[in-house]
Amino acid sequence: MIFKILSAFAIRFRQFSLAILEPLDEVYLMEASKGLPADLRDKLSLMSKADKKHLCRLHKKITAAKFLSDEERAHLQKTALLHDIGKYNNHRSLLKKVADILLRRSKSLHCITGYNLLKKYDGFEVYAREALMHNSKVPPTELLAIFQRFDDAS
């Protein structure tokens, strides 16, 4: 239990450090998201700066991964951009994020919001399910398990 709390805190501390020190590459994010529908790109633009930095880091790591097939890479790149789309209207401070971990509050609100948003788009059903399940303890597919490892490391 203590290890889990310390591990979660270490992840949040790293994210906090990167949110402060790392510049946001808006051009990269715009280029990476150009294949998405315009209204989804608009939702990405409403996300917090820290969340957008996270998406960029994650997208870059997936792009650089040599062990992925081209098909897996393309899929996970889109997953990287869309998995947290439900956060577009849910800006939370670092203190609230740490409190959520310590108090074992659910991290699923943005997952449900993202699922409900993405399921409306033809061809986005898989991404909707991945947005819903990306924080699950047991990912339903091997590809989502790979994605979770990237996500946890970003």
Domain ranges of the chain: 26-92+105-153
pLDDT at 69: 98
pLDDT reported for residue 7 = 75
Q: For all residues of the chain together, what is the average pLDDT?
A: 88
In this prediction, residues 113-130 reach a mean pLDDT of 97
DSSP 3-state of 93: coil
Residue 19's pLDDT is 67
Count of other CB atoms within 10 angstroms of residue 79: 23
Alpha-carbon gap, residue 94 to 28, rounded angstroms: 25
pTM > 0.85: yes or no: no
DSSP state of 91: -
Burial letters for 2-29: b for 16+ Cβ neighbours within 10 Å, e otherwise? eeeeeeeeeebeebeeebeeeeeeeeeb
**Residue 94 clears pLDDT 90, i.e. is over it:** no
pLDDT tens-digit readout, 13-63? 776 776 677 889 999 999 999 999 999 999 999 998 989 999 999 999 999
Q: Provide the pLDDT for residue 21.
A: 75
82-111 burial code (b ≥16 CB/10 A, e <16): bbbbbbbeeeeeeeebbebbeeeeeeeebb
Contacts of the segment 36-42: beta carbons below 8 A, 24+ positions apart: 36/78, 36/81, 36/82, 37/121, 40/82, 40/85, 40/117, 40/118, 40/121
